[in-house]
Amino acid sequence: MPRKSVFDLHEMKRAGEQIAWLTAYDYPTATFEEAAGIDMILVGDSLGMCVYGYPGTVPVTMDQCIVHSEAVRRGAPNTFVVGDMPLGSYQASDEDAVTNAIRFLKQANVDAIKLEGGVRTVSRVRAILDAGVAVCGHIGLTPQSSGQLGGHKAQGRTLESAKLVVEDARALYEAGVQLLLVEAVPPEVAGFIRAELPIPVLGIGAGSDVDGQLLIVSDVLGTFAAFTPKFVKKYADLAAVSTAALTEYVTDVRGGAFPEEQHCYRMLAGENEKFTEYAKETR
């Protein structure tokens, strides 16, 4: 099945087809997601927490994002992959933003990049688009600037803050973004934006009145146990399954139940006797 393009995703919106989007950070997970028929993969800066154990996304670097994007592309060669611009990769200048966006294309062969922020990132978005790179905007709760937002809190829950989210959406659309992610806002706000904009409006913690859903794969599979956001639906508890399996392994090793005969290699016919003689002579 050929890889979807931005235009295919736009056509899905026009046809009323929901877009399924997940994060991935490594080759195996990307292969599983492509086999499952996922429409899009985000190599999110959430890898800081889900892979490296950082307390948030702030420490994540471009080099880390590139390496993980390369692995995901190898695992999902036929899936639309979005690289996530980490903090510091685009804030300083339009030139920095373009340079780092192009790195994602040249080194990891992603299909688009994502960056956080609305009105304040318009010049960055335009510069990246002018360089020929597809852009997904990200508004609402933007984790990289959570300090300014008072923490990882839902946005748009009052009329005034909802207006700001809508203004961000309009500004990014007018700047030319091809996709828009809305995070942690009330469904009515996300639905209003979806109805107003002709581009796919995707949600994470934004209700069902959007053109598609994004979740963190570590939450979906239950491999990230530090906390579970309100909007997450766990489809598996691999942390529990993995811990149980590893506990059984430890028990087997300490009790001598592993390895068994079927786990061992044997010498070729006639070689065992030769080795026995060798061992006697060298003792």
Catalytic residues: 183
CA distances from 270 to 128, 278, 280 (A): 69, 13, 16
CA distances from 47 to 50, 167, 226 (A): 5, 29, 14
State which amino acid sits at residue 164: L
Start-end of H helices in the chain: 6-15, 27-36, 47-50, 62-75, 94-108, 122-130, 159-175, 187-196, 217-220, 238-255, 271-282
Quick one: CA torsion of 169, 57, 216, 64, rounded to 10 degrees? 110
